[in-house]
Structure 1
């Protein structure tokens, strides 16, 4: 959406800053560093005329406060630009507490550490098979050949959907999280719903033990959710499961390909569980992914900024990890950083329920890949293809090794 919204009367001209979520200068070289430029040069909270016009919060303290204050910063509409009026809400993300907790419970129960630990042997098996397949060639297109294979195989098994369907589902996930306009995202949403409807109906008639069966039969205390709500819930979870971990693994692989000293540090410390855990947290901090917008529910003043009911605001998660008020030299990856501060998985009631599984998959990727391919770099003559949007990502990453 390139046309610019007119500045509302309550927005001072001094707080207007040109920021387009889908076209950030410098993002093709380093997405997160491109965001950091805005953080350093713009007001802590500013208004942009792009994508319908909305506020942007750039500092960790404010973003964490907004993520936790669902009463004034509501999840009612999480996308920028907003979806067309009348679009069904995205369950459970576009629901605020206390109603939100009832929808979220089965997702949390299905992804607790004990259950994730049971998945580990299969995650490792998928990772090893994918690496062994590309190893003899001495090169691969990392996103298609590994980053998408690992989390997607695991996730489709969790929801008991055919692995063969991923070629149909992945382009829909891409359009949903990085579509530049509401029409593209809505079309992806509709197509995913159409794909899921028969499967949702079957799991409601004859539930199994898989995650999809648990989601579509959520009991709200007065009976289970409707079929349409079940389709909406399954659609959102599927989009999240198909894209976000693949994106994070892509960013980490790109970083390690470009930074041999860090790579060697990891290779040498792979058997040190505490070190690997700390390194993963630092890599996640530096490579934030997801953005969810909020809608202001009442008129009020926040740190001198006048917010009006109905205003949209983007408290982008990745700004927290990049904030030099919280992390010294935030663009530098330091595996010995005492306490990496980030909000990659959100905060408060809507914190990502898949965080435990995501961290486990990243750890398995590092352990299995670096033991087999400790020395790799970006293939000469190629350039990684990066993308910004509601979810940042790596679209293409060609690697090679001796």
Structure 2
């Protein structure tokens, strides 16, 4: 059942550009999310309008997606969710703040997640991965999402913000509800629940800051003054959601791919010690398995490639479609670890490019290195089927694996 009924077509939208596209209930995505999206990319106008999820435009080609991600003057981040939250909802900081002000909020994230800092975090990432894999190995199988894909990033992230690891089991369902709930009300409730959990921690770190990431983001100065408690809470909530869910989704989809493609898994196993090969292979896996969907809102009337946008229009430029665009990538649904340049927009572009991209790549690398050295052969458990789900963050919610 849809939580939001289709809306009427606005007068400025030509009938020829209307497509019934619902990114929450996408045909074909139950088997392959990216292929389900690509069917619309190949069979529809490059830019079309859908009456679903509040009514919004969709950009399907890499050139347009990258342009819109970079051009924040016209395609604003002020409302990134679909259906949009009610008018007057405070912005999620810093995601829904546009440049140049955005840079002041983003600064502590960039400082904490520099390449050097990410390298410093690697030992913790690796220890969590090894401990979890060693515990699973003798069982001969696991439910990969709950038993590994979610465990690695949440433990690493809770360590980075210096919050108790034992809170992971309580926080993960809230993060799931935030990005995959079908109703606006449920998504708002998830934000309230996360804010309720964080409020005490935010107040404590603002009073007695440490050197952890949470302390840094809740005490930043903007325009010469420390941000308000409400802003700090919004910032902390968004960062915690980002750290809990997105990396887990990508690791889950990569695990599914390797379980279903033993030849590719074997190729990785044979090249784990080749740093250059592994780096390119990870980029190719990220290209093929993009997951995030952040919408934009038009700041003005704007004509683009024959399409007339009106101020206030919402548009979805799905990150993952840039990685499966056959105009820029040959045979894009095929994973080729020797592809010379895996082009994608999985972490966004421009001012709002994901500041945690380096950490995400490192977590994926550690997963592949430590898992494949211990479990080089694995497959989907016979009689089961992976459960995939689309939404603001696409992902996989169940994946039963077995190994010898």
Q: Among residues 220, 240, 258, which one is paired with 1:218 in the alignment?
A: 220
Aligned-partner Cα distance in 1 for 2:124–2:299: 44
- Note the alpha carbon deviations across 1:281-318, whole angstroms, 9 max, x for none: 00000001101000001112100001000000001100
Could you tell me how far 1:85 is from its partner in structure 2? 2.3
Q: Residue in 2 aligned with 1:318? A: 320
Inter-partner Cα distance in structure 2 for 1:324 and 1:86? 40
Show the counterpart of 1:388.
390
CA displacement 1:25-53 (0-9 Å, x = unmatched): 01111111100100010100000000110
- Counterpart of 1:343 in structure 2 is 345
2 CA distance for matches of 1:184 and 1:255?
A: 31
1:147 to 141, 149, 152: 149
Distance 1:352 1:284 in 2: 14
CA distance in 2, matches of 1:171, 1:2: 23
Match in the other structure for 1:332? 334
Deviation >6 Å, runs of 4+? none
Partner of 1:111: 113
Deviation at 1:122, TM superposition (A): 1.2
- Cα distance between partner residues in 2 of 1:348 and 1:179: 28
Task: Determine the structure 2 residue equivalent to 1:21.
Answer: 23
Paired with 2:135 and 2:111, the residues of 1 have a C-alpha distance of: 34
Q: Which residue of 2 aligns with 1:291?
A: 293
Partner of 2:256: 254
How many pairs align?
Answer: 402
Deviations 1:313-361 (A, max 9, x none): 0011000001001110000000011101000000000000000000000
**What is aligned with 1:370?**
372
Matching residue of 1:8: 10
The CA deviation string for residues 111-131 of structure 1, in whole angstroms up to 9 with x for no partner, is 001011111111111100000
Report what 1:167 is aligned to.
Answer: 169
Q: Distance in 2 between matches of 1:222 and 1:279?
A: 44
CA RMSD of aligned residues (A): 0.6
User: Aligned pair 1:73/2:75, yes or no?
Assistant: yes
The SS at the match of 1:386 is strand
What's the CA shift for 1:200? 0.2
Q: CA deviation at 1:2?
A: 4.8
CA-CA distance at 1:3 after TM superposition: 1.4
1:178-225 superposed Cα distances (whole Å, 9 cap, x missing partner): 111211110000111111111100000000110000000011132110
Unaligned 5+ segments in structure 2 are none
Counterpart for residue 203 of structure 2:
201
Which of 186, 190, 193 aligns to 2:192? It is 190
The superposition leaves residues 51-94 of structure 1 with CA deviations (integer Å, 9 ceiling, x where unpaired) of 11000000000000000000000001000001122221100000
The correspondence of residues 346-361 of structure 1 with structure 2, limited to 5 A, is 346-361=348-363
Match of 1:137 among 136, 139, 147: 139
Bigger shift: residues 92-101 or 115-124: 115-124
1:165 match: secondary structure: helix
TM-score, normalisation: structure 2: 0.99
Q: TM-score, normalised by structure 1?
A: 0.99
Please give the per-residue CA displacement for 1:125-181, whole angstroms capped at 9, x wherever unaligned: 110000000100100000111101111100000001111111111111001111112
CA–CA separation in structure 1 for the residues paired with 2:145 and 2:393: 16
Corresponding residue for residue 93 of structure 2:
91
**SS of the counterpart of 2:210?**
coil
